[in-house]
Chain A
Amino acid sequence: MIRLPATIILVAVMLLGLVTGGTAHAVRTSHAIPPDEAENEDTGLHLLREAAVAGRAREYSGTQYVMVWGASGSTSAVLEVHNVPGKGMTVRTEPSGSVQSADPGTPAGGMSSPSETMLEVLARNYRVVAAGEGHACGRPARLVNVLRGDGTVAARYWIDKAAGPVLRRELMDARGRVVNVGAFVDLALDPVIKGVVPTVPPSATGGLDLVEMPRLLAAGWRIPRALPGRLELFAARSAPAGYLYLGYSDGLSVVSVFVQPGVLDEDHLQGWHAEWRSGHTIWIRGPVGQEMIWASGGHVYTVFADAPADMVDTAVAALPHEHVPDLWTRLGRGASRLLSWVNPFG
């Protein structure tokens, strides 16, 4: 009779301990966030998303200064930008004076309004974190840093605090040097109409453009799905003009590859200079290394990029490069061709 209450009390104490311990553990899991999860959270992604929406849905006009640095120098341009919701963006380039319509998600539009799919790719390849507040173009802004896996900064955004577009965008190379800057130096932003919520245009959802991939692969094209630098294939199209277009992006930068069958007519390349790299010739235009042409294996490759120069070089090196045949290889090929010409059974 005496032992039974003691046993019941012991069991009750154990149950109480389990309950209180479980409650305490539950409290810890609900309120104490592990440090690793906090560091991996893309705290700045929603800011980029809101800025991308604003870049399409709000009306604004301003002057943008764009500068790109490369291994051999830099280039710059002044853009007069005017965006009207529903009509699109027009960009007037100075000093050339050319005017063209541009999507704010394209390189011509400063890539200030990436699509939702591109933001997903960005978040997959980088960590997007809010980095406080600052000022740009004389306006209060929220800062967003895009970090690589090793913690170095790959890009930095200044986003208008008044629900506006991206005010300033910087890209950094692997060594931390700023290699691409697009910044408003003057911006007139129409006031937000109360009660009207900006809607995301359908095109901002985005997606892949790989519908032709099966047909291209069946036709014998060898298309790499990715290039070094986390560049992923997002578009593969064959044009009626007889060339293949491949688009690669990591969510920040973009590299376009154009492939034509044939051999390069180097005599008619005006404004391009040749560089000898790893046993083959590459033709480069401009001082920033964003435009390249080379020939390999019966095809001519043309690359245009909006990316850090080191990323472009690495991506280009991963594309086909057939070395120039040595003397004996060339003589042997000539002999075989001559024999094939005179061989009546060949």
Chain B
Amino acid sequence: MSHLGERVSALVDGELNHHERDRALSHLAFCADCRAEVDAVRALKSRLRSLDGPAMPTDLTMSLLRMAEPGGPLPPRERPFPASRTFGGAPIPSMYSVAPPDNRPRSRVQGPRRPRRAGYVAVGVASAAVAIGTLFVVGGADSNPRVVPPVDMFANQHRNTAPYGGSATPTFSPTP
């Protein structure tokens, strides 16, 4: 009898019928290799059963909770290609069948809802302030040139102009 091979796992799992199990056990009585393999498989399965189930990822939980918001869950994503394509009976993984890695910042997905709303309000207020400030600055800017009156020249002209003195152009002496 050849070695047990793939039947080792079925033997350990108790999935062999009575006749197959008798033949396997008779083989194990004379084959040390197969006994060692059965022992290894049994130990591995025992180890796996002792392990806890995988924990639900928090981000996946939050995503599911968001889907429960008013408005109902998001519709299932329509795949452009049928997912039932198989090769040799086994399904072929497509580009949409594998979820993309979640690289979002943990703080965004783990934060409570109130700070998130406060953030939205802050962004809105800041945007409004920038818009109003822009309108305020643009509305106040004047295209006319900025001038500083030459007050010394004006004062000199005032002091040296005789009221009702006629159209003679007054002569100005330099202001010290």
A residues with CB within 8 A of B: 96-98, 100-103, 105-108, 111, 114-115, 117-118, 121, 203, 205-209, 211, 234-235, 241, 245, 247, 249, 251, 254, 256, 258, 260-265, 268-269, 285, 291, 293, 298, 300, 302, 304-306, 325, 327, 329-335, 337-338
Contact = CB atoms under 8 A, between A and B. Distances in A.
Contact of B159 (A107, A118, A206): A107
9 contacts: A103-B165, A105-B165, A117-B166, A203-B165, A208-B167, A209-B167, A256-B157, A269-B148, A302-B151
B155 A291 contact: yes
Residue from the set B134, B144, B155, B162 with the largest chain A CB neighbour count within 10 Å: B162
The 8 closest A-B CB pairs, nearest first, are A334-B139, A334-B135, A105-B162, A249-B163, A304-B158, A262-B147, A334-B138, A256-B158
B47 to A, nearest CB: 70
A102 B164 contact: no
Contacts of B137: 334
A114 B164 CA distance: 8
Interface residues of B, number: 37
B79 interface: no
B164 A330 contact: no
A101 B140 CA distance: 45
A256 B163 CA distance: 10
Contacts of B161: 106-107, 235, 247, 254, 256
A269 B175 CA distance: 18
A265 B146 contact: yes
A103 B160 contact: yes
B135 A106 contact: no
B173 to A, nearest CB: 4
